[in-house]
Amino acid sequence: MADQVINWLLLLRSGKATAQDYNDFLAWRAADPAHENAWQQLTGSLEGSTFGRLGDAYPAGYAAAGPAPQTPLAPPPLAIAPPRRRFLAGALALAGTGACAAYIGNAFYPLNNVAADAATATGERRRYVLSDGSQLLLDARSRVNLDFTPAYRQVRLLDGAVTVSVAPDARRPFLVQTAEGTVRALGTRYMVRQQAQRTVVVVHEHEVEVETMSGAHGTVRAGTGARFDASRMDTPRAELMAEAAWEAGWVEARGRPLAEVIAALRPYRSGTLRVSMAAGGLPVSGHFPLDDTDAALDTLKDMMPIHVRRFTPWFVSINVAT
């Protein structure tokens, strides 16, 4: 929720927001009480900082662009003695600076990664060698926890994607666990990605067994990939091998929706990439570099009927060209 608030702040304070952007913002606040609460809490913490007031302050002339926010105006500030005023101003500035520093820091290195056994920052792919000789290749902004026992070797994938090259061990299967189930192998090389409410597995060598949280089983063989949720696994398909192109630093698309391509670029870019629903459904084919997201966006803009708006280096919005 906080990243949505930051996105709106960056847009509305960029000086390039349109009246329609402001109407969309008002609709977002009115759509869910949680949105309004997050807006009030985060913008309230930033007031008084060196960034100026970032709450309900919008570019001039937008007040007539849509209905006023359904929140009461703040009461006049109480008279505060000078020492207390200075103290509160300093506290607010510190809170605002801390909040912004946390957001900017998270853009480079996810805060959740601090407690993980192995993790990667924005734009980073990293290889790890485990105690049994197995290897992990983590995609950008990914994190895992490890649990090795005499009975099994387990990697818990918390975010992102991991490719494992498993050292054979007949006594201890190698397990990659996600929120939807477990991928089991004795000795092979395969990739697992955690997505929203589903997992993607791609097998490079041999085969793996999948068990969903509800107990359904399936096998994925080399040269194919499959998606599964907590209940069932889809039929393995060769075209899903494209999901592992990140291992070589690419996004491979063969008629994939633009929203999926942008989702693959996000872990490699500090800041926010926002794509509209209309643009996100457009089909894309081609290869796009992960390590140069600006080049990837320029290529997409040249080959598709889309408009890429760079408000700041930290905020890019993609819409259908008009």
- The CATH number of residue 216's host domain is 2.60.120.1440
89 and 125 together in one domain? no
58 and 143 together in one domain? no
75 and 9 together in one domain? yes
236 and 297 together in one domain? no
Task: Decide which of 244, 265, 283 is a domain's last residue.
Answer: 244
Which structural domain range is residue 272 located in?
249-320
Question: Domain tally for the chain?
Answer: 3
Specify the pLDDT at position 93. Answer: 47
Residue in this structure with the two tokens 């105006």, named with its chain if needed? 73
Residue 144 near residue 155, CB atoms below 8 Å: yes
127 and 222 together in one domain? yes
258 and 154 together in one domain? no
Which sign does the torsion angle of CA 287, 290, 296, 300 carry? positive
Task: Decide which of 201, 216, 244 is a domain's last residue.
Answer: 244
Using alpha carbons, select from 167, 154, 252 the residue that is nearest to residue 205.
Answer: 167
Give 160-186 pLDDT, tens digit per residue. Answer: 999 999 999 999 999 999 999 999 998
76 and 104 together in one domain? yes
Please enumerate in sequence order all residues whose Cβ is within 8 A of that of 202, keeping only pairs 6 or more positions apart, or say none.
190, 191, 220, 224, 225, 240, 241, 243, 244
Residue 245 near residue 288, CB atoms below 8 Å: no
- The CATH number of residue 306's host domain is 3.55.50.30
140 and 159 together in one domain? yes
Tokens of 90: 């300093």
Residue 202 near residue 213, CB atoms below 8 Å: no
Strand, helix or coil at 255? strand
Specify the pLDDT at position 85. Answer: 44
Below-50 pLDDT ranges, the chain = 45-89, 91-106, 108
CA distances from 236 to 124, 224, 244, 259, 303 (A): 29, 6, 14, 22, 31
Specify the pLDDT at position 6. Answer: 64
Specify the pLDDT at position 25. Answer: 79
Specify the pLDDT at position 112. Answer: 58
Specify the pLDDT at position 238. Answer: 97
Helix axes 33-46, 2-12, angle to 10 degrees: 70
Please enumerate in sequence order all residues whose Cβ is within 8 A of that of 201, keeping only pairs 6 or more positions apart, or say none.
183, 190, 191, 192, 193, 208, 210, 220, 225, 226, 227, 228
